[in-house]
Structure 1
Amino acid sequence: MKENEKKTNYGNWVPDNLMHKMWIAAGLIFLLWIVNWIFLGSMIFAVIFGFFFLLMLAVSVYMHRCKAIFAFEKGGLMGEIHEYLVNHLPYNGDGILLDIGCGAGALTIRCAKRFPKAKLQGVDYWGKEWNYANEQCESNAVVEGVSDRVCFEKGDAANLKYPSGSFDAAVSNFVFHEVKTQPDKRLVVKEALRIVKKGGAFAFQDLFGMEALYGDMEAFVEELKAEGIREIHYIADIERLDFVPKFVQAPWMLKGVGIIYGIK
């Protein structure tokens, strides 16, 4: 394929390997159902395996549908959520922006297109459970025509290697709750704010509505103000906005989504 014919590959929030495992599990349960019903004549086990097969089939179909809704090239929900975040970033586009947990580079590149004067840095841990990689980010940047202003590198969101106040703006989307190296997710937020310059902009989306992760968010916002954040706003329940289909507003998909944004 020629360079100008390449397509972007931004992946999906429903990983391919998860879907493969679910369909394989459904197939194995189906085989157990058939064996017990036809070959072993065990109606009790046939009923049990039949129930679990139908349950696994229903869950697999649901997740497959969610995957299509999230996909950039199909339902486009991932892109709309990114757009919502960028629309709340009070950034004039000068200087350097950091995308924390850049994944496949989709949000980084969206910011590059929105802020044509900015330089952008994407950082990600790129764990095995996600179908993302540095090379994938770089390829997407080339296809989108922004590779001259964007770079990517491996890093840990809980311990960013950059000096305090290194960036004019920072964004992050659905990353903080996934950080395994720091159980206190509030500290992950504070680490993200640390690298923003005084007067710089930030916008972070995550599962801020989940008390098990963040406690009382209103109290946390007040704590951040007391620690010197000049302006900070919190919007809860993003998943209830009109552009999010009710189909994905489930506890195991999109639940407790919030955004904090403002000026440091």
Structure 2
Amino acid sequence: MKPDYKNWVPKGMLFSLVAGTALSFALLLIFGVFGIGVSGKLRIALGVVFGIAFVICAKYTEWCVHAYRSFSYDGERKLSKQIIEGTAHYVTLPEGGVGLDVGCGSGALTIACAKRNPQGKMIGIDRWGKEYASFSLTLCKKNAAAEGVKNISFQRGNAVKLDFPDESFDAVTSNYVYHNITGEDKQALLLETLRVLKKGGTFSIHDLMSERRYGDMQAFVQKLREMGYERVELIDTTTGKFMAPKEAKRLMLHGSTLLVGRK
């Protein structure tokens, strides 16, 4: 049995865009090109409307197909796998230690961290909302079983307010989660995750940390250092770490950054 980590681009969105492109093209032909049942200014207007709709749908479909292929675990690029393994690289657990993956989705990062740290245990949490219907608690458990990973567990949780006491974990990690949480201060979300990290514990958090979303991250790093964090580092993952600048721009992943270190 192979694990199924799904794709970060939902199939439903891909199918909807393909259907929208086909429909807008068909309507363009019917009303704009052949003028079936319409004529004059109305034909021109409909031709323009459906022509614009076709161009927009076609461009988004092209992007979606490219992104789907790039993120696929079974494709040639395997960008998702590279990001997951690269993020997990910075997670270190002591003997008997426990780590937390916030927003675990299909369990990929939780499992990668557990495999790298057989001496410890990983816990993955997620709210598994309807907007990500392909991800679920059951899927995470199946993927762990498929990978033969037993030092792991999954449960429901909310990144905005973690249901754990201060300094509960020896490591915390997350990948492309916080930018999806609307209406919340992103630096506050980082602090909430780091709140449950023990003194001396490691952290590895990857997200779209552009200034527009996150504010001044250099100032945030300095704040953590002033709070007594042993090591804090920001790593731009769009300059060859995980992807090239051109690829990051095309996939709309500019701002992808790793926040790593030790408390």
TM-score above 0.5, yes or no: yes
Alignment of 1:2-151 (within 5 A): 6-36=1-31, 37-38=33-34, 39=36, 40-41=38-39, 42-74=43-75, 75-92=77-94, 94-130=96-132, 131-146=134-149, 148-151=150-153
The corresponding residue for 1:198 is: 199
- The offset of 1:46, in angstroms, is 1.7
SS in 1 for 2:254: coil
Alpha-carbon distance in structure 1 between the residues aligned to 2:68 and 2:130: 19
Give, in angstroms, the shift of residue 92 of structure 1: 4.7
Task: Give the aligned CA root-mean-square deviation in angstroms.
Answer: 1.9
1:29 offset after TM fit, Å? Answer: 1.2
Equivalents in 1 of 2:245, 2:70: separation in Å?
11
8 Å CA contact 1:66–1:248 kept in 2: the answer is no
Q: TM-score, normalised by structure 1?
A: 0.90
TM-score, length of structure 2 as denominator length: 0.90
1:216 is the counterpart of 2:216: yes
Return the letter of the residue paired with 1:177: H
Find the aligned partners of 1:245 and 1:30 in 2 and give their Cα distance: 34
Deviation, 1:152, is 0.5
Kindly provide the amino acid, as one letter, of the partner of residue 8 in structure 1: P
2:158 equivalent to 1:159 = no
Distance 1:125 1:242 in 2: 29
Number of residue pairs aligned between Structure 1 and Structure 2: 255
| Structure 1 residues without counterparts, runs of 5 or longer | 1-5
Give % identity. Answer: 35
- For 1:116 and 1:73, the matched residues in 2 are separated by 26
Q: Deviations over 1:99-123 (max 9, x none)?
A: 1110000011111111111111000
Deviations 1:131-166 (A, max 9, x none): 2000000000001001x2111111100100011111
